[in-house]
């Protein structure tokens, strides 16, 4: 998921450099959304791991 966020960030930067502001804005929005989901999933798994005593969450 983080990979997709980075890909859309790169697409937004490249589109912004070439002047495609609509495409850049769309890709940046998708990138921010995917990054937020990644952070939320990371925090949930981190809390579950700490509650579980450090064992792997399966």
- Output the pLDDT for position 54: 60
- Give per-residue pLDDT as tens, 13-50: 888 888 877 888 888 888 888 888 988 988 888 888 88
Residues in Cβ contact with 5 at an 8 Å cutoff, skipping those fewer than 6 apart: 31, 32, 34, 35, 38
- Output the pLDDT for position 40: 92
The full set of domain ranges for the chain reads: 2-51
The answer, yes or no, to whether residue 53 has pLDDT greater than 60, is: yes
**Band of pLDDT at residue 56, cut at 50, 70 and 90:** low
């Amino acid at each position: 998921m983080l990979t997709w966020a980075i890909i859309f960030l790169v697409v937004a930067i490249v589109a912004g450099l070439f002047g495609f502001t609509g495409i850049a804005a769309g890709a940046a929005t998708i990138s921010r959304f995917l990054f937020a989901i990644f952070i939320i999933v990371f925090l949930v798994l981190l809390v579950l791991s700490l509650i579980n005593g450090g064992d792997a969450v399966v």
